[in-house]
Amino acid sequence: MNPGESSQAAPHLPDGAVLSKGTLKRRLRGDLIISPILDESQIGEGSVDISLGTRFIRSRRSKMTEIDFPGLTRDDIHSFQESVVAPFDGQYILHPRGFVLGCTFEFIALPTDICAFILSRSSYGRAGLLIATATFVHPGWRGCLTLELENLGEIPIILRPLSTVGQLVLLSASKLPEQPPAKLIPVGPMFTTLNEDPRWEKIQALCSREGTVVAETRKPR
Amino acid sequence: MQGIDQKTYLDVFEQKLYSLRKLKQDLQRGLPAPKPEQFLRGLDLIIDAVETFLSRRVDNLRARFAGKPQELAEQIAFHAKVALRILGSLHQQYLPLLHAESQRNEYLFKPSIEQAVGLFTNSRFELTLLPDFLYNYAFDGRENFANSEVELLEKNSDPDTKAALAALRSKAALTQWIVFLHFPVADRDSALNLCVLAHELGHFVDEISKIYKSLLPIELDKSSFDEFVEARCNTPAYGGTTSKPGGPRLTFEKIFTRDGVQARCYLSCNEMLERWIREIIADILAIHAIGPASYFAFNDFMAYMGAENVTSSSHPVPAFRLKLMLDELKETMGYLGSASAVDKVLGEAMLRVTVGAASVKSRYKDEAKVVQITIEKTLTSLLAKIRPVVSAYSFNAARYQGTVPGILERLKRGIAPIEVLDGVRTKVVPASVVGILNAGWELYKTDIAGFYGQFRDDVPEMERFASLNHLLFKAIEASEVKRRWK
């Protein structure tokens, strides 16, 4: 059977149970995709090591006076962030207090009965590199995961694509009735989409009823 | 003499030398890693050599023409002009390449291209991909490019200067091919369209293997050539004007004699023949190297260009080339013999292309007619000589069926097809780059609606299409890493 072709008949696990190494290996030959697995040792008890990808989104100086998400357009976002690529034999230098969005090198596709959490590698944390991320990955999710990287130390840190930056802890979940439709299938880090959050409108409506305007569209001057 | 004094030439030279050196350094700083070391060293060599040449020559001339100010001024002006011409070529030909390279974006497929070219040559080469606002794909290969510029200076040098220039050349030690592949910047995010690069790489393989030299010369078709010469002999010269009303009609034959006209016709036909043959070689190499993907990409490229079905001095008529590719897929590579989805698409294309190629036959004229007939008559033997170069790597129908379906299955479900099970389905292996590209084209040509169907309704169609290309790029990059991982 081709990897990812169909779900394997698997013993039922309670929701939230961490998948064992044996289960992970079996599911990776079926409908669970974490690819490429460069070393078998990446697969551990309940988790799979993940590596840094080659694409980044970095911040740049902008004429924007502040980031206020309601009313922000895609052009606004691109005015203070830009995509860059560091080839897999290259590097990205993250300066002190620098912030960059990275991504996992592995392409991940979770079946509809598995969810995951990303944990950053503590060794990096001890060197001052914070790898924070939206840690929960929904069942049925496809793509490369965005990583938020920040250098909290005092000297530049060289980020090398393909280095191990964290682990994906995989858990069983109640099976979704069907694969959810995709908005995007990212293969690199994602620009923020917070500006599209429908809740802004509700907040605005609420505030205007109260006679207050909290969210204005601010354009770069 | 242009009325410009030697001092002006020398001052201008100094200024331009400084500004070009600075410009080169600025551009170099802006280059992403890995930098094209050989090319940069070549540029340094040219700049250093021009400076050495002129300063030494001026010293030498001043000693030689002391007391002869007029001759000295003329000699200095001449040598300064030679040096300025080289700087001009640096400015116009080479620095734009450096500038274009600093704009490069996502060359996730470059390692795969280098790997592929490495199959055909043991020569070391430095490959650079150049996005271009001209909507064109082009190959620009330079073997020891800087040395040829320096040799031009050496020709105009005294023995001491020659020795100094030779020492610079030797120090720079430029031995590699510098290969530039130009592609339209608009295609930079399209793995599907960039398959046209296979044709340009075909030119590179031809250049280093000298395939075209083994095919040429070819005897021109006698009948059409005689017809062409006859027509040209009778062609009115100078737009048909005569020396005086009622006087003899001035034709090419009257000006150049029949032998002269024939010699010119022979030359122009052979020049065109060589260019066309080289295009055919690149087409055949590309179709074998990446299979139907090469045909599909070329077909789309022609459509975007709005290419008319006519000949040009550099390329055979598009329909002839498309038919040649399809014939090769069918006759030699085993395609179009099954009911598979890709064979169905290729079969439909074959019908259209056959009509297109036939319709143009009556429109061949002059050199194009001679060259086209010559190629058609010798095509079988030409192809027999080209195929062995690439046959070991030919992406034939059997290879297609062995690799593409597994990749396609993943791609259809929105999964980057980085790894697949091997032929005996026991081991996970990296997907082949050629398989990935062909799976992309098959999906695009046969079931793109199915692919689009997995997205939310509010996702615009072109973003769904962009997703397909992103998945292909990701798969190409990551499968290459997996192949190289030890």
Distance CA B284, CA B202 (A): 8
The parts of chain A modelled with pLDDT lower than 70 are 1-12, 209-221
Q: Are residues B315 and B385 in the same domain?
A: yes
What count of CB pairs under 8 Å joins A to B? 105
Q: Are residues B323 and B423 in the same domain?
A: no
- Residues linked to residue B259 through DSSP beta bridges, in sequence order: none
pLDDT at B37 over 90: no
- The answer to whether the Cβ–Cβ distance between A54 and B107 falls below 8 Å is no
pLDDT at A187: 94
Range of B328's domain? 224-393
Q: Which of B32, B428, B454 sits opposite A182 (nearest CB)?
A: B454
Tally the residues of chain A. 221
> What are residue A49's phi and psi, to 5 degrees?
-65, 140
**Residue-wise pLDDT tens digits, B74-88:** 899 899 988 988 888
Q: How many domains does chain B have?
A: 3
Please indicate whether residue B106 or residue B152 has the higher confidence score (pLDDT).
B152
pLDDT at B109: 76
Residue with tokens 């004229």: B365
pLDDT at A10: 55
Closest Cα in chain B, distance from residue A144 (Å): 10
Q: What is the signed CA dihedral for B134, B137, B143, B148, rounded to 10 degrees?
A: -20
Instruction: Give the rounded distance of the alpha carbon of A129 from its chain centre.
Output: 16
From residue A35, give the alpha-carbon distance in Å to each of A214, B23, B231. 44, 43, 66
Distance CA A1, CA A72 (A): 46
The whole-number average pLDDT for the span B194-211 is 92
Residue B141 identity: G
- The answer to whether the Cβ–Cβ distance between B467 and A185 falls below 8 Å is yes
Q: CA angle, A166 as apex, B472 and A36 as ends, to 5°?
A: 30
Residue B56 belongs to a domain: yes
- The answer to whether the Cβ–Cβ distance between B414 and A185 falls below 8 Å is yes
Q: Does domain A21-53+88-190 have CATH number 2.70.40.10?
A: yes
- The answer to whether the Cβ–Cβ distance between B406 and A2 falls below 8 Å is yes
Work out the number of other CB atoms within 10 angstroms of the CB of residue B250. Answer: 16
Distance CA A184, CA B392 (A): 39
The pLDDT confidence band at residue B471, using thresholds 50, 70 and 90, is very high
The whole-number average pLDDT for the span B338-344 is 95
B170 burial (CB, 10 Å; 0-12 / 13-18 / 19+) is exposed
Element (H, E) at A100: strand A99-103
pLDDT at A7: 46
Q: Which of A2, A83, A188 sits opposite B409 (nearest CB)?
A: A2
Q: Are residues B22 and B164 in the same domain?
A: yes
pLDDT at B363 over 90: no
Chain A partners of B428 at a C-beta cutoff of 8 Å? 3, 29, 37
Q: Does B461 touch chain A (CB under 8 A)?
A: no
Q: Are the C-beta atoms of B264 and B247 separated by less than 8 Å?
A: no
Q: B190: which 2 tokens?
A: 């399209």
pLDDT at A1: 39
Residue B318 belongs to a domain: yes
Q: Are the C-beta atoms of B203 and B448 separated by less than 8 Å?
A: no
Q: B106: which 2 tokens?
A: 């996502």
pLDDT at B8: 85
Chain B partners of A104 at a C-beta cutoff of 8 Å? none
Instruction: Give the rounded distance of the alpha carbon of A122 from its chain centre.
Output: 18
Q: Does B478 touch chain A (CB under 8 A)?
A: yes
**Residue-wise pLDDT tens digits, A165-195:** 999 999 999 888 888 888 889 999 988 888 8
Closest Cα partner for A145 from A124, A166, A171, A173? A166
Distance CA A94, CA A88 (A): 16
Q: Are residues B289 and B381 in the same domain?
A: yes
Chain B partners of A179 at a C-beta cutoff of 8 Å? 454
Q: Are residues B358 and B427 in the same domain?
A: no
Q: Are residues B164 and B176 in the same domain?
A: yes
Closest Cα partner for A85 from A14, A156, A189? A189
The whole-number average pLDDT for the span B456-463 is 91
Residues of A acting as catalytic residues: 148
The whole-number average pLDDT for the span B103-131 is 76
Q: Are residues B438 and B324 in the same domain?
A: no
Q: Are residues B231 and B302 in the same domain?
A: yes
Angle, helix B397-412 to helix B433-446, in steps of 10 degrees: 70
Residue B214 belongs to a domain: no
Please give the residue of chain B at the shortest CA–CA distance from A1.
Answer: B425
- The answer to whether the Cβ–Cβ distance between B478 and A107 falls below 8 Å is yes
- The answer to whether the Cβ–Cβ distance between A3 and B467 falls below 8 Å is no
Q: Are the C-beta atoms of A102 and A118 separated by less than 8 Å?
A: no
Residue B436 belongs to a domain: yes
- The answer to whether the Cβ–Cβ distance between B33 and A37 falls below 8 Å is no
Closest Cα partner for B42 from B177, B163, B132, B162? B177
Closest Cα in chain A, distance from residue B362 (Å): 51
Chain A partners of B474 at a C-beta cutoff of 8 Å? 107, 144, 187
User: Which of B363, B393, B423 is the endpoint of a domain?
Assistant: B393
Residue B197 belongs to a domain: no
Distance CA B391, CA B332 (A): 10
Q: Are the C-beta atoms of B448 and B419 separated by less than 8 Å?
A: no
**Residue-wise pLDDT tens digits, A57-66:** 998 877 778 8
Q: Are residues B388 and B413 in the same domain?
A: no
Q: B31: which 2 tokens?
A: 């280059």
From residue B164, give the alpha-carbon distance in Å to each of A83, A202, B51, B77. 46, 77, 11, 21
Q: Are residues B174 and B30 in the same domain?
A: yes
Residue of B465, B468, B477 best to disrupt the A interface, most CBs of A under 10 A: B477
Q: Are residues B55 and B181 in the same domain?
A: yes
Please give the residue of chain A at the shortest CA–CA distance from B462.
Answer: A184
Distance CA B373, CA B371 (A): 6
Q: Are the C-beta atoms of B351 and B249 separated by less than 8 Å?
A: no
Chain A partners of B419 at a C-beta cutoff of 8 Å? 3, 35-37
How large a percentage of chain B has pLDDT more than 70?
95
Closest Cα partner for B226 from B257, B266, B254, B260? B266
- The answer to whether the Cβ–Cβ distance between A35 and B108 falls below 8 Å is no
Work out the number of other CB atoms within 10 angstroms of the CB of residue B431. Answer: 28
The pLDDT confidence band at residue B396, using thresholds 50, 70 and 90, is very high
Collect all residues with Cβ–Cβ distance below 8 Å to B476 and sequence separation of at least 6. Answer: B108, B109, B112, B191, B433, B436, B437
Residue B130 belongs to a domain: yes
pLDDT at A210: 60
Q: B109: which 2 tokens?
A: 């497929």
Write down the mean pLDDT value for chain B. Answer: 88
Q: Does B95 touch chain A (CB under 8 A)?
A: no
- Ranges of each domain in chain A: 21-53+88-190
Q: Are the C-beta atoms of B56 and B161 separated by less than 8 Å?
A: yes
Residue B16 belongs to a domain: yes
Collect all residues with Cβ–Cβ distance below 8 Å to A43 and sequence separation of at least 6. Answer: A21, A24, A25, A28, A37, A49
Chain A partners of B482 at a C-beta cutoff of 8 Å? 36, 38
Q: Are residues B464 and B362 in the same domain?
A: no
Residue B206 belongs to a domain: no
Q: Which of B106, B454, B470 sits opposite A181 (nearest CB)?
A: B454
pLDDT at A89: 81
Distance CA A206, CA A204 (A): 5
- Residues linked to residue A168 through DSSP beta bridges, in sequence order: A48, A118
Write out the residues of chain A at the interface with chain B, using a CB-CB cutoff of 8 A. 1-5, 29, 33, 35-39, 54-55, 83, 85, 87-91, 105, 107, 109, 142, 144, 162, 179, 181-188
